[in-house]
Structure 1
Amino acid sequence: MLPYPWLALNLSAIYLVLGIFSPFWGVWLESVGLKSEQIGLLLGIGFAMRLCGSLTIMRQVRRAELLIPAARILVWGGLLSFVGFYFSSQFWVVFLFTLLVNFIYPTLLPLTDAIASRMVLQVNLDYGNVRLWGSAAFIVGTTLIGIVIEHLGQSWILHCIVLGLLVAGFCIHMPMKPAPRTIGQESESHGYGMLLRNRAFLNFLAIEALIFGSHSAYNSFSAIYWHSQGFSASTISALWTTGVVFEIIMFAASRRLLAGWSPERLFFWATIGAVIRWITIGTSLNLWFLFPAQALHSFTYTLAHLGAMQFLSQRLPREAIISGQTLYSAIGQSLSLALFTVLSGMMYRHMQQHVFLVMAVIALPVFYLIWHGKRMTISRPAQ
């Protein structure tokens, strides 16, 4: 199978599960009797384990040829980990399998991004055009699970995740031709340590950490909050779906619409969108305001992610891209979401919707970091 259809198929399978897991896992945890502080703790620890998983697992993928075999192991490992939640709904059992699930399954996201990035180099793949298939599958997952919950109950959140990973397990074993391969005389000289000592790369990580970290209250508590205010599961699904629809539109138009945009410009508009979006969600339950705010997901997520992919592919030496991708996922996304999700869980009980206003404040320092990082460059190691 050629790279484009292979990636479209596998991104669809992986993000179908994510469309169930991301918006409704907190709802499933609440359905088995956990309190908001426990939910916030579990979700926050989950993001921390994503950090550990990305750093540990991606560290072993030293060559491009190992990317697809590693993805196959992670799909089946993720499936077995989710099955563990059937054993008991006691907190410590849920805690244990939360650690395992988040160590394994989310690493598929940076891993498939790394495969896509490699194929951009090998066959000039249009990243935005293939990534939109994952976003489309996310919509399908979010929409279907909303319908399933209303008719069959919240226990089906876990059942659908397990079924989705079974599908992903079959898709991931399709062969890709040409497969990812090491190009030229790539070395491993750009490890984690060298990138983490570079001020420009650290500034980039801080930008992404604040933008993605500001999504923590939305990711973990928007469905719970809207449900508490009388929104039906289908309405919540529609709100999440709206965000991803506009994400798809932005991915599809990115090569044409955003041609010539620098990473800094993409980060700037992502931050503008974040401030407006979180203020709106934190101050209104009017669907006429919430749906347009959700459309800003095309800014808060898509522009931030496209800026990251552009930064990694254009500013880093080729041999540093996999390490950079790993650190972006582990620190710029997982660690920041872990910290801010725990914080959100502690604040949500007392602040309710006002926790989203805190997320708007969290995004504000990005404007300074963009200005501060404009003159910084990634240096190559001495030969």
Structure 2
Amino acid sequence: MLHSPNSLVPPGPPAFFAWRVALLFCAPLMVNGISLLYLPALLRDLGMTDVEIGIIVSLPFLLRMIGMPIGTALADRVSDRAIVLIWSAAVSLATALVLFFARSFWPLVLFYSVQSLFYAPFVPIVESLLVSGVRRWGFDYGFLRMWGSIAFVVSTLLGGVLLEFYGGAMVLPAMAGFFALTTLVAIAAPRLGREKPRERLGALGDVRGDNPFWRLDFLLVISGAALVQGSHGLLFGFATIYWTAQGISGVEISFLWTSAVIAEIVLFFISGRYLARFQQLHLVLAGCLVSVVRWGLFPHVDSFWSYLALQATHAFTFAIIHVGIQRFLMERIGDERGASAQGFYQFFVSVFTVATSWASGFIFQAYGVQGFYIMAIIAAAGVACVVAAMLLQPQSARSGG
């Protein structure tokens, strides 16, 4: 089913809205399934050092701090958000083709930076389209967001098989192909136009004239979730390299990444029915707490099956936090600023992720797998932020927020 069973869905969504939005998640997450997980293998094949790999894999997160707020703010101002999606995908495809000719550090840095800058607002704008569909017509957020994760699994499995046969050489052709698909689905994106600002007593700050993005409790929630997302930097940068050194095959590595996303898919699938009863900050806090445990245990496991079990906790360290944050943004921010809200949150995710990704080369070089203890400390800071935000809401103790 495409709609929440308890929703009253008014007429009016664009034709095939649900599936068009689902495809908008699928294509870019297939790109991410290759670039995020397997680009380090290509860089290693090209002779990059650990520090150089850390720098290059941090570029998307660094450039998001510029590209996301600009792109998402622009999307809220143009006649339709799909316009920015098309430009984002088309320029990303062009740079993916240029990367075929970059084989040394500085050319890679240059062209990958351009791609990262223009690609940055794509997924946050798609998130805003989906949230608009949830708010206006009652679509099930978790069910539609789940398809992007399924696509990520497909590309991850495909990437693992290709890595086994072709090594890092498979990365650029796969990225270019999926960027071409991303451009096609952007052209087919549903057009929602711009919603006029409304008085929304539930969105704090909108009717009072102050900026809700800069309220202390809002900032603490966003920062706490973003710190935990940033704590994944060492995993994404060096897990494939570490597992390979441990004797785990390329196909097994693809299953390790896949197990995390399958757990994420299950969480998204059940979120509409089983998580609605929980207050959104409790969901975020639960994910933050599990993150501390996940990174603390990582140096102590040493087999494929134990890594597989640990990867399944991604349902909490990413998915449950993501559902909680989307519910939080939907409650606090109006539809007319939906893309900007997504960009604001992702800006903070990028700040913390680029810091950990940039440092991950030095951390892994100095401490190896023991560096995950540092990630646990970062996740603990996220826990502290969310708890502080909950304490700043005097109604939370009495009425659940």
Q: Fold match, TM over 0.5?
A: yes
Structure 1 residues 280-359: aligned runs within 5 Å: 280-331=297-348, 333-359=349-375
- Aligned letter for 1:250? L
CA contact (8 A) 1:128 1:252 kept: yes
Alpha-carbon separation, structure 2, partners of 1:85 and 1:166: 14
Structure 2 residue 284 is the aligned partner of structure 1 residue 267: yes
1:126-165 deviation digits (Å, cap 9, x = unpaired)? 1110000000000000000111121123111111110111
Alpha-carbon separation, structure 2, partners of 1:243 and 1:289: 13
Identity of aligned residues (%): 25
1:54-108 deviation digits (Å, cap 9, x = unpaired)? 0121121124842111111111111111122112211110110121111122321
Alpha-carbon separation, structure 2, partners of 1:180 and 1:248: 27
Structure 1 residues 1-383: aligned runs within 5 Å: 1-63=15-77, 65-174=79-188, 176=190, 179-186=191-198, 194-331=211-348, 333-376=349-392
Please name the residue that 2:399 is paired with: none
CA contact (8 A) 2:89 2:179 kept: yes
1:219-277 deviation digits (Å, cap 9, x = unpaired)? 11111111122211111110000000010000000011101211221112101221222
1:329-362 deviation digits (Å, cap 9, x = unpaired)? 111x111100111121111012111111211111
| Inter-CA distance 132–261: structure 2 relative to 1 (3 Å threshold) | same
Please name the residue that 2:11 is paired with: none
CA contact (8 A) 1:68 1:115 kept: no
CA contact (8 A) 2:42 2:168 kept: yes
- Aligned letter for 1:157? V
Alpha-carbon separation, structure 2, partners of 1:92 and 1:376: 47
Alpha-carbon separation, structure 1, partners of 2:44 and 2:167: 13
Alpha-carbon separation, structure 1, partners of 2:23 and 2:131: 16
Which stretches of structure 1, 4 residues or longer, exceed 6 Å deviation after superposition?
none
Alpha-carbon separation, structure 1, partners of 2:78 and 2:146: 23
Alpha-carbon separation, structure 2, partners of 1:186 and 1:61: 18
CA contact (8 A) 1:58 1:326 kept: yes
- Aligned letter for 2:371? V
CA contact (8 A) 1:53 1:103 kept: yes
Alpha-carbon separation, structure 2, partners of 1:57 and 1:184: 20
Alpha-carbon separation, structure 2, partners of 1:231 and 1:255: 36
Superposition RMSD in Å: 2.0
Could you say what secondary structure the match of 2:80 adopts? helix
Alpha-carbon separation, structure 2, partners of 1:25 and 1:110: 22
Alpha-carbon separation, structure 2, partners of 1:185 and 1:195: 14
| Inter-CA distance 196–260: structure 2 relative to 1 (3 Å threshold) | same
TM-score, normalising length: structure 2: 0.88
Alpha-carbon separation, structure 2, partners of 1:230 and 1:40: 22
TM-score, normalising length: structure 1: 0.92
Which piece of structure 1 moves more, 279-288 or 305-314?
279-288
Q: CA deviation at 1:318?
A: 4.1
| Inter-CA distance 10–367: structure 2 relative to 1 (3 Å threshold) | closer
Could you say what secondary structure the match of 2:187 adopts? coil
| Inter-CA distance 175–13: structure 2 relative to 1 (3 Å threshold) | closer
CA contact (8 A) 1:135 1:244 kept: yes
CA contact (8 A) 2:81 2:193 kept: no
1:20-62 deviation digits (Å, cap 9, x = unpaired)? 1111111111111111101111222331101111012112112
Alpha-carbon separation, structure 2, partners of 1:64 and 1:130: 25
Q: CA deviation at 1:195?
A: 4.0
Alpha-carbon separation, structure 1, partners of 2:211 and 2:189: 34
Alpha-carbon separation, structure 2, partners of 1:159 and 1:180: 33
Count of residues in correspondence between the two structures = 372
Q: Structure 1: which 5+ residue stretches go unaligned?
A: 378-383
- Aligned letter for 1:372? A
Alpha-carbon separation, structure 1, partners of 2:78 and 2:113: 27
CA contact (8 A) 1:283 1:353 kept: no
Alpha-carbon separation, structure 2, partners of 1:293 and 1:359: 15
Which piece of structure 1 moves more, 293-302 or 260-269?
260-269
CA contact (8 A) 1:26 1:221 kept: yes
Could you say what secondary structure the match of 2:188 adopts? coil
Alpha-carbon separation, structure 2, partners of 1:252 and 1:96: 39
